[in-house]
Chains A and B, each alone.
Chain A
Amino acid sequence: MAVKREISVKKYLLAFVLTLLVFSGGILAGIVLENARLDDAEDITLKEKVALRSLQLQQAHIDSGIADCNSLHTILDNNINQLTRSMAVVIDYEKRSLFNQKKFNLLLQDYFLTEIQFYFLSKEIDKKCQQDSVKILYFYDQNKDETQGDILSYLKKKFGSRILVFSLDSEFTQEPLIHILLTSYNISTFPAVVIDEKVYQGHRDVREVMSILCEEFVKIGVELPEECKIVQKSGS
């Protein structure tokens, strides 16, 4: 005598349907969340554009005395810091996006353009006002597990407003201007750093970048940070 075996078909089906329902709920929540991220990214982009326009206007009227160089430098530094933070957020949104990839890509393109505009504007400001910061153009490859970006963030923490870092994704083919910049600087290896029009291709350690920056600080005549004095001493 043996027991009659049963298969709980109804339970399996119901469990499967309920699991699908939970997952569908998750996908719905994902769509809502992604739309919220898209709205947030659009807000951020608008804010950056407004900040850029404001700075452009101030730079244009510097000769008339409406704006002064000191406040222009401060605003530029704040704008770039904000831009870097916002860009990290938009890149993160773009990476997570499932349904609005194209829109996020467009926003990102807009962002890179704004950043490039800020870069050119900072050079324009330097022409009218005395240069008080070193501009670093940083081309990264997001597919590489690299620490160059972290090194630059660290140096930004160390030198504060003395350096301005403009990060561009070398793989972002959607924006031709990035490609034009890469060609004009003759860059083929990543990561690459452009400091004072000089190109440094491949990974550069913190000492090397710091040494380059210290030389630049001397050139532009800003107060030399303590770290540079140590680097110069150890170099000599």
Chain B
Amino acid sequence: MIVTFLDIVLFSTYFILLFLSIFWLLVLFSSKEEKKEKTLNRKPFFTTIVPAYNEEKSIQGTLQSLVDLEYPEEKKEIIVVNDGSTDRTRKLVEQFIRENPSKNIMLVNQENKGKGNAMNAGLKIAKGEYFACLDADSFIASNALKEMLPVFESDENIAAVCPLLKVKKPDSMLQKVQWCEYIINMFYKFLNSKLDCIHVTPGPFSVYKTNVVKDIGGFSEKTITEDLEIAIRLQKHHYRIVQIFDTIVETTAPTTWKKLFWQRTRWYKGSVDNTFQYKQLIFNKKYGDFGIVRMPTIIASGVIAIILTGTLLQSLLSKLYHFLMYLNDINFDLITLIRKFSINFNFLSLPFSRIFIAATLIGISFFIMIYSYKLVKEKITNHGRTWTSMITYLSIYGLFITFVWIYIGFMFVSRKKNAWF
């Protein structure tokens, strides 16, 4: 048997993927459950920081969702940090403050210095024992604090609690696909949470313990994915990050493939940059499962995606090239080929190993999808988000994400920095 490079890549990748899938399934069915206090015994002061840069379209809706939060008025404050917006963001916030004078809303205006800096500016004047960041393109459910704050009471090592993220009003096919993706990501976060392995506290309303974040130096101003960086830093200092599913935050998803491409490039490049920044955590037993499995897989997932798709594409292109050469050799006489076409099907010649690998991986993917929907209490066909979105997610979207990883590979080679595209 001639073992090709493609075979080695496929089998190694399959082994790693199968190992990780089985591992996470074992985590899924393990009994460890987060013990959550159901009610808040006290009402700690709470701050929401809204960093805003040119958010005129959504800022008032975002502020309204914060005002509607079910929590005593005297125990909460909202700090909007206008990070040098050039549109009507400032005017709209000022107007909102005028219309809601009793809601304890503050506006901080500064030159454009980036989200990390804006967060730190808000953090500096925050009075809350806990605080959250809410991106100006996200909207929070009114029960958020009632559900999230009691989690901190169950374990003093918890430094951050993340809500359930969903795509807001997914209209287009692309948004529906992202809707699927967000739900599946929640499943992964559920598993990671079980092992204290969460490596990102998303911008939309992750709640932090203020003194912990201040103690570890606030948000990084060097990276544009500060929500990824702060999570890894919290992990580095051995704090816990917990994922819950009772609070929903809806966020606006990109509407075009181009916008999605740049968003994902920013996120994944940020993940990789942060992983390299904290490379001492990789395979470091001191950090438990986070060091052993979570940190290495951040980079490994990208590398596997690139190698797997690259090798498959190479094989496909080589076959296509050979076929085109053949057509060229026979002067593109397709008529003869079609007229004399015959199928020499031989059951025993089928590539069973590859079929088995593909079937297993597709099976695992579908299991994850269906379980994810169950976990977040959604129906697959909710609001017309049908199986098509799921199949698109599994096929085209996977390929799309690989191209994002390939571009990130290119960014590394050409030493290109991460940026807001």
Given contacts A33-B352, A206-B329, contact A15 B26 (CB under 8 A): yes
Q: Is the CB of A3 within 8 A of B349?
A: no
Instruction: Give 1 or 0 for each of A27-45: 1 = CB within 8 Å of chain B CB.
Output: 0011001001100100000
Q: Is the CB of A2 within 8 A of B238?
A: yes
Q: Is the CB of A5 within 8 A of B329?
A: no
Q: Is the CB of B329 within 8 A of A151?
A: yes
For residues 1 through 55 of chain A, which have their beta carbon under 8 Å from a beta carbon of chain B?
A: 1-3, 5-8, 11-12, 14-16, 18-19, 22-23, 26, 29-30, 33, 36-37, 40
- Among A70-78, A85-93, A122-130, the stretch in contact with B: A85-93
Q: How many interface residues does chain A have, given as a range? A: 35 or more
- Among B17-25, B65-73, B79-87, B243-251, the stretch in contact with A: B17-25
For residues 296 through 343 of chain B, which have their beta carbon under 8 Å from a beta carbon of chain A?
A: 322, 325-326, 329-331, 333, 336-337, 340
Q: Is the CB of A6 within 8 A of B288?
A: yes
Query: What's the nearest-Cβ distance from chain B to residue A60, in Å?
Result: 32
> Nearest B residue to A23 by beta-carbon distance?
B15
Provide the residues of chain B in CB contact with A101, threshold 8 Å. 1
How far, in angstroms, from A23 to B353 measured CA to CA in the complex?
10
Q: Is the CB of B352 within 8 A of A154?
A: no
- Of B15, B291, B330, B356, the residue contacting A19 (CB under 8 A) is B15
How far, in angstroms, from A11 to B31 measured CA to CA in the complex?
13
Interface check A103, CB cutoff 8 A: no
Query: What's the nearest-Cβ distance from chain B to residue A153, in Å?
Result: 9
Provide the residues of chain A in CB contact with B413, threshold 8 Å. none
Interface check A197, CB cutoff 8 A: no
Provide the residues of chain A in CB contact with B336, threshold 8 Å. 154, 157-158
Q: Is the CB of A150 within 8 A of B1?
A: no
Given contacts A6-B288, A15-B22, A154-B337, contact A147 B30 (CB under 8 A): no
Main secondary structure of the interface of A (DSSP, over half): helix
Q: Is the CB of A150 within 8 A of B329?
A: yes
Interface check A61, CB cutoff 8 A: no
Q: Is the CB of B348 within 8 A of A30?
A: no
Q: Is the CB of B329 within 8 A of A15?
A: no
Provide the residues of chain A in CB contact with B155, threshold 8 Å. 3
Provide the residues of chain B in CB contact with A1, threshold 8 Å. 156-157
Q: Is the CB of A205 within 8 A of B329?
A: yes
Q: How many interface residues does chain B have, given as a range? A: 35 or more
Interface check B416, CB cutoff 8 A: no
> Nearest A residue to B23 by beta-carbon distance?
A15
Q: Is the CB of A3 within 8 A of B19?
A: no
Q: Is the CB of B238 within 8 A of A154?
A: no
Instruction: Give 1 or 0 for each of B156-192: 1 = CB within 8 Å of chain A CB.
Output: 1100000000000000000000000000000000000
Q: Is the CB of B353 within 8 A of A157?
A: no
Provide the residues of chain A in CB contact with B147, threshold 8 Å. none
Q: Is the CB of A157 within 8 A of B337?
A: yes
How far, in angstroms, from A3 to B333 measured CA to CA in the complex?
71
> Nearest B residue to A22 by beta-carbon distance?
B18
Interface check A98, CB cutoff 8 A: yes
Interface check A96, CB cutoff 8 A: yes
- Of A11, A37, A147, the residue contacting B23 (CB under 8 A) is A11
Q: Is the CB of B22 within 8 A of A18?
A: yes
How far, in angstroms, from A87 to B289 measured CA to CA in the complex?
53
- Of B19, B348, B353, the residue contacting A36 (CB under 8 A) is B348
Given contacts A2-B237, A19-B15, contact A7 B285 (CB under 8 A): yes
A-B contact pairs, 16 of them (CB 8 A): A2-B238, A2-B239, A5-B287, A5-B288, A5-B290, A7-B288, A7-B292, A8-B27, A11-B23, A14-B22, A36-B348, A150-B326, A150-B330, A154-B333, A157-B336, A158-B340
- The residues of B with any CB-CB pair to A shorter than 8 Å are 1-2, 15, 18-20, 22-23, 26-27, 30, 155-157, 195-196, 237-240, 285-292, 322, 325-326, 329-331, 333, 336-337, 340, 344, 346, 348-349, 352-353, 356, 360
